[in-house]
Amino acid sequence: MNATYKIHPAIGIARLGNSPDAFYLGPETAGALPTECDELGNPKFSPDGKTPVTVKKFKDAKGRIKRQAARFQVWVYDEEEQKGRPLKIGDPIEGGGNKGTLVAIQWRVHMANKKASWYQFEQLQGEHGYSPDHPLRNPDVTGAARSRLIIDPGARIVDSRDNRRASLDRSGDGVVTTTFPGPLTPLSIDKLGDLIVDDEARLLVLGGHGHSGTEKTGPGNPSIQNYANNDGWFDDTGDGPVMARLVMFSEEVQRLRFVDVEYPAWVLTGYPSYVPEILDIITMDEAMEDMFVREMAYDTEIYGRVDSFKDPDKIDSADPEALRFWRRDRLEWNPNYCPGFYADIWSILFRPNEFNYLTLILQASNYPHAQETRGTFNPADLSRPPSVRTNADANAIEAKVAKLTEHLGHYAEYLVKGPSAGPGKRISDPFKPMRMFLYDLLRLPDEENEFRKSGKVNSRLHNLPLMPLLAGDNPITNELPSKFLRLTERQLFLLKQWADGKFYNDLDRMPDGYNPFRPFPGPAPKTGRALDKGVLGKILGGAFCPGGEVGWIMRNPAIYIEPYRIKPDLQFSTFRMTAARASSLSGAVPPEEYSAYQDQTLSLKNDFDNGLQPGDLTKYMSCPWQADFNECSTQTIDVTYEGWNNIYTQGNSLLADEQMSWETLWWPAHRPMQVQMKLNGNAQPVIVNWASGIQQTAAGDLKMVTDWWRLSFVVDNPDLPATEKYVASPPVDKYIGVEQSYGKGDGK
Amino acid sequence: MVDAVQRYDRVCSILDEAAAGSEENYGGLGSFWQGGTAKLKDAVVFGVPMVASRAENSGLIKGLRGEAPFDGGRFPRLPWGGKQVSEADIVFIAEWIDDGCPEDAVQIDAYLEAEVQPALEAVAQPAEQKTCCATANYVIQEHEFGLFDGGVNAFAFGQTEVRQRANIDLLPEKQIDELRDAMRQIMDLNDSAHDRRSFKNQALIHQNHCQHGWERFLPWHRAYIYEFEENLRDFNSNVMMPYWDWTMAQYKPSTPDLGWRIPNALKAYLTTDQAKWLVGALHPAPTKAQRSKILELAELRTLFRTQSCFLELLYNTIGYTHVTPDPKNENRCRVIKALMASNPLWYPLRYPGVYFNKDGKLSTINDVIHYHYPTADDIRQIMSLNNFRDFGGGSMYNDSYGFLDQNPHNTMHIWTGGFNPYYTRDSYKKDDTSTRAPQNTAQSKRVYYSDDDLFSQPPNGDMFSNLTASYDPVFWPVHSNVDRLWWQWQQNNPHGSPQDLDAVLTPWSYTVRDTQSIEPFGYEYVRGAYLMPVGYAAPIGRFVSKEIPVPEGMAEFSRAEVRLHRVPVLTESCIIRVFLNDPAADVSTAVEGNPHFAGYVSIFSHGECIGGPGHCAIPNPRPGDQRERPHNTPRNHRIDVTQAARRMLEDSKTLRVTLVVLGAGDDVILKTEGVTLTFLD
């Protein structure tokens, strides 16, 4: 086995902050707090030298949000460590026909923001290709001038030796020419981020400062009219490839040699993670894994050809022909797959109750997701798989049935005896009805537009709203409506197996110290893949309208070269001088000083066959991001008819009488509604509006452009002891908002 | 009773009678004895002349008697598919041949014929005739098939099948000699300045057009080797450019100074003729003892890496001291001439693996050039690169070297070029360090392949610079190997291609796109192949090859195949089982758990023709015929025998191929032009 070198995470997330210099390291496990680092990006450890110090202050002294760095690291996969290990300076490496000692790592990053040059976001239109007449953003700008709508700072190269910092800024660092919009109102954009290499040759990518503005001037400007599309506007999010080149000293020839990692990684910038410890109902990790499993043969033990599960297929997901052939086969979920309750089921079921702490609707009304002993979500009950019992005392059992029949009717016999498991034996599965109740309430594929369970008039499920009761990919227009969020097929399959009793109780297999009432964060990632997944764990995985950090483009298999790895357009992702050429020069020309002939500008179109360019993941998102972020709090969804989000009742009172709607949450773990907060120095928190004073309107969107940084971070309440908050029935202030900066300066 | 007949007519009638009922056409000749003595005298059946100057050497007589090669080894007894001819009749034919195949009429004494015949017949009775299966028409003989010594490309179907470029170190000397002859012929064209095929003009193409340091490197050189090879094939169509796998064990890639440094086929040696010429030409004349030592070098075919290896031996060991490194030294020039004439693959301006450091001390490529000789592990790493830009180069000239281009390709140029140890040294005498002024001829002033140029003392070998590299014949096997590595990489990376596919590769009309597959060029790479001609004349129920010696280097194959060439559409479907090193294997030999069992192929037959007239008798397509090939076109079959071959070679240095034909009926037979055992990298 040749050694291969890969960057992990395959997709990293940097987050905006208006603090000019302060930053911390993004979490690498779903639900973990970010960690502190020094100004060179080196993580800080507690006195034991091992435990990273988590962030206590998300804002600087002036109340400005610190940026969150995306950290990338090169991993090596070889005979010794087939699951990979982080590569360290001084390690022996090989590649391209050379071997030597790793002396440095060069990193190349090219981010861009293509939002203003892209199509208007119109819900799901475009997910399967844009129609030729799909409207563009900034349609008045035509022809070659549209390239100017792309914010392109060009590529920057840093290394682990004497060139450890660079800015993706307007200056071009004297190496490249850049494209930035002119003066903007209210805030101009001069950079998309910064690069820093830490002492262990890892790369940190910092995003922008949250500057958004419009080029339009004059009366009425700046103005935001739409949650997603606003001509003239730019923001400083972005995305692009992250490439690494390993520099080795070859002892045998006494010269430097170079070799590139297998594929680039990708960095994207999103808005701050205001609620770092609470997971969305669908994380990006889950959304992507679902697609990889179904489309890219990522896990053929769980999903594959009919009857193939005893000897699962091994399909090379990077081989399009093999994959296409596999997809054309009869594929199914493995009917005998047994999920572990705590690892696979509870990690989903735990989440809805956490939303209690983010919205008043849940917190102040009822507790449908209660996890206490008599609650619908009591893990002690839900985790008990069916067991086979011997009918030792038939009389006692019959007596028990007789006693319970009075209250439960025919249910009693089933509950006590369960299905027969052969002569003298029975299957005891007393909690199956409880599991089935939860599963039956789940929204299944093709039920995205159904609000309530109907057609079961004698069932207690009848007329109950389907879950999750969150807004879907399009609750807005009548074009491709998709009103409500549905769990991924993989999540639903796992839950189905569980509901059917095909699962096991894995409590004793969970990591040391696991507490069902604090399932997140899990342990720090030990493999490159775990790191990929961990980082995606706090990126929104649905609904995509357009979403949080990135949207439905992420569930398009065409953009991946293999699971988790974005397929790059090599023209914009590789070092312009090949590693072989760098080797022939033995490094005499530093890559950052090497200026290459470029015959292409960033594209105004998609070319998935050729790979993605800088800016091709975030361009679908709202412009500026603050507009959608502000408005995606709750959504009034018309639930009158499945096929219509909008009905027109004028002159039709009968239709008007029929009309029903439901005020639906979007994604509280990304954009909270109400939170507990200690106000005016009071020790006892009270529930308040999180974005107080910012209306859910277009006018509010404009306020969000200037005030997003004042909002509080919602964290696990440090004042409560673990014994009080990590329990089945925690207090209402389990999470509290901190560091709100209302009235604290102007953010500059 | 005496009948007056022509002896030739009698010969015909003997053979006609014996061949009655056979449909054999002897490789297209048909009943070659018919149609006149002239036709019979010229008849050559599968390379064997039927009539030689003496009867005992004539194929016809050997064939009728069942002597080699008609002893069942390569061919069965004549006439094929017919009856055995009595010894008396054979004697009659033999005498006629010995008399020069006269057409005169003679008196045949019937009495004599009657008296002699029974006695001779008794002698000619076959001692033991093994038969395996009988058909309505003829007896199929079982025999062992021997190796064809001309190489797969030289065999009849080689001209119509994919031609093979083989490993130069595993190529039989006979085929190397064919390559040398063809090289010599295009070098002879050097005097014809306008013949584009001349070696110099071909080399000039590289000087003027070559592409390195970007994605056109591999495409351009693929076309270049092909064009060069076609020029060679103008003179001998059997010749293909072999490749030099420089990572093989004999090159000791980790300590290459201790290895062969360059394939033996390209090293200098003296032929006897050239040795004789040289000892006559040297002036003053060598002593008798020196002469015999020089002649002995030819006899022993002593190999020399460089001219100086030879000249130092001549001076210090043989003791002929009238030779100096001076470019004008006439004896030295004579030596170079003799060595070049002996082996046109050798080149005087070539110093493989010779390097001097700044202090003039002998050193290594690692220390002086800071490049290392490529190892098999290096090649594995390069083959694992996942994009064409890294592997073969990108779209920016000279800034986007691929790893294959940069090292090993560049390294092999530097390695084979080397430093000239006599750039300034002035004596071949051991330990004599006297020097002379260096000779520096500007490249622009060189007249390549002129005497002045070949006898010069430049600082480096010609492979060292891309302007001169192609004048050294080692250029071709090096690049053939580079092309092979690309082809192998292409198998694993079908989507990896250069960016600019429309770019034209001057001075030809190929575009980069045209070079993306080697199929249109009609060649493949094999480590080596062994051919056993069969011919339709010998329908087989069972095929057993003679022992095929498999040398050590050959045994490092990654895949072994038994190929059946040009199998005509059979009347019965059958299964061909392949066994290795089990000459006794037959239909009853176990398959499961049998380490000798190597694989099988099913051949689907046409069955009895129920089509209209001509359905199964479509004429062969003419050149330019664009219609579909007729359904009876012979097919090739290949059977992967890798695993069994590896098992057998654990304990054996030879392989024997046994083919067993299984079908529903008793008369199932296989016809094929030949069987090859092919080893691939």
Identify the segments of chain A with pLDDT beneath 50. Answer: none
- What is the model's pLDDT at position A17? 98
Contact A586 B370 (CB under 8 A): yes
Indicate if the pLDDT at residue B667 is higher than 70: no
Tell me which chain B residues have a C-beta less than 8 angstroms from the C-beta of A580.
390, 393, 401-403, 405-407
Contact B374 A94 (CB under 8 A): no
pLDDT, tens digit, 9 for 90 and up, residues B456-485: 999 999 999 989 999 999 999 999 999 999
| A258: closest CA of chain B, how far (Å) | 10
Whether chain A has a CB inside 8 Å of the CB on B386: the answer is yes
Whether chain A has a CB inside 8 Å of the CB on B424: the answer is no
Mean pLDDT of chain B: 87
The whole-angstrom separation of Cα B220 and Cα A465 is 68
Which of B60, B150, B143, B43 shows the shortest CA–CA distance to B97?
B60
Indicate the angle between helix axes B7-19 and B87-98, nearest 10 degrees.
140
Tell me which chain A residues have a C-beta less than 8 angstroms from the C-beta of B372.
98, 250, 252-253
Cα–Cα distances (Å) from B608 to B366, B571, B615, in that order, read: 69, 6, 11
Indicate if the pLDDT at residue B227 is higher than 60: yes
pLDDT, tens digit, 9 for 90 and up, residues B35-46: 888 888 888 887
- Confidence label for B154 from pLDDT (cuts 50, 70 and 90): confident
Examine the predicted complex and report whether its ipTM is higher than 0.90: no
Residues contacting A553, CB < 8 A, separation 6+: A127, A559, A616, A617, A620
Nearest by CB to B406, from A95, A580, A596: name it: A580
How many beta-carbon contacts under 8 Å exist across A and B?
87
- Confidence label for B571 from pLDDT (cuts 50, 70 and 90): confident
Average pLDDT value for residue range B85-101: 85
- What is the model's pLDDT at position A2? 85
Phi, psi angle pair for A353, to nearest 5°: -65, -25
Indicate if the pLDDT at residue B29 is higher than 50: yes
The whole-angstrom separation of Cα B640 and Cα A203 is 49
Average pLDDT value for residue range B633-659: 94
**What DSSP state is assigned to residue A26?**
P
- What is the model's pLDDT at position B376? 95
Pairing of β A11-15 and β A265-270: parallel
- What is the model's pLDDT at position B107? 45
Query: Contact at 8 Å (CB) between B240 and B166?
Result: yes
Contact B401 A253 (CB under 8 A): no
- What is the model's pLDDT at position B5? 60
The whole-angstrom separation of Cα A732 and Cα A674 is 12
- Confidence label for B302 from pLDDT (cuts 50, 70 and 90): very high
Phi, psi angle pair for A185, to nearest 5°: -120, 130
Average pLDDT value for residue range B390-403: 91
Amino acid at residue number A647: I
Residue B127 or A481, more confident: A481
What would the DSSP string read from start to end of A207-231?
Answer: -----EEES--STT-S---SSS--T
Residue of B nearest to A594 (CA): B399
- What is the model's pLDDT at position A594? 74
Contact B372 A252 (CB under 8 A): yes
- Confidence label for B573 from pLDDT (cuts 50, 70 and 90): confident
Cα–Cα distances (Å) from B80 to A199, B6, B121, B139, in that order, read: 84, 25, 20, 9
Task: Kindly report each contact of residues B329-335 with a partner whose C-beta sits within 8 Å and lies 24 or more positions away, as own/partner.
Answer: B330/B283, B331/B282, B331/B283, B332/B307, B332/B455, B333/B451, B333/B455, B334/B278, B334/B281, B334/B282, B335/B278, B335/B307, B335/B310, B335/B311
The whole-angstrom separation of Cα A108 and Cα A265 is 10
For chain A, the straight-line distance linking the first and the last C-alpha, in angstroms and rounded, comes to 53
Contact A576 B378 (CB under 8 A): no
**What DSSP state is assigned to residue A35?**
B
Decide: residue B71, CB within 10 A, 0-12 exposed, 13-18 middle, 19+ buried. middle
- What is the model's pLDDT at position B120? 34
Nearest by CB to A584, from B385, B390, B406: name it: B406
What would the DSSP string read from start to end of A52-85?
Answer: BPBPS-SB-TTSPBPEEEEEEEEEEE-SS-TT-E
- Confidence label for B394 from pLDDT (cuts 50, 70 and 90): very high
Which of B538, B540, B573, B537 shows the shortest CA–CA distance to B658?
B540
Phi, psi angle pair for B225, to nearest 5°: -65, -40
Q: What does the CA dihedral A342, A348, A354, A355 come to, rounded to 10 degrees?
A: -170
Tell me which chain A residues have a C-beta less than 8 angstroms from the C-beta of B384.
2, 4
- What is the model's pLDDT at position A317? 84
The whole-angstrom separation of Cα A389 and Cα A375 is 26
- What is the model's pLDDT at position A446? 96
- Confidence label for B330 from pLDDT (cuts 50, 70 and 90): very high
Q: Which helix (H) or strand (E) holds B386?
A: none
Which of B313, B297, B279, B332 shows the shortest CA–CA distance to B454?
B332
- What is the model's pLDDT at position B116? 34
Contact A250 B372 (CB under 8 A): yes
Q: Which helix (H) or strand (E) holds B356?
A: strand B355-356
Q: Before A557, cis peptide (omega within 30)?
A: no
Average pLDDT value for residue range B506-510: 95
What would the DSSP string read from start to end of B274-285?
Answer: HHHHHHHHSSSP
Q: Structure pTM?
A: 0.85
Residue of A nearest to B494 (CA): A319
Residue of A nearest to B399 (CA): A577
Q: What does the CA dihedral A256, A259, A261, A267 come to, rounded to 10 degrees?
A: 60
- What is the model's pLDDT at position A418? 66
What would the DSSP string read from start to end of A471-539?
Answer: EEEESS-SSS-EEE----HHHHHHHHHHHTT--B--GGGSPTT-BTTB--S-PPP-SHHHHHHHHHTTS
| A574: closest CA of chain B, how far (Å) | 10
Residues of A with CB under 8 A from a CB of B: 2, 4, 94-98, 250, 252-255, 260, 262-263, 320, 570, 574, 576-581, 583-584, 586, 594, 596-597
The whole-angstrom separation of Cα A515 and Cα A365 is 27
The whole-angstrom separation of Cα B220 and Cα B503 is 10
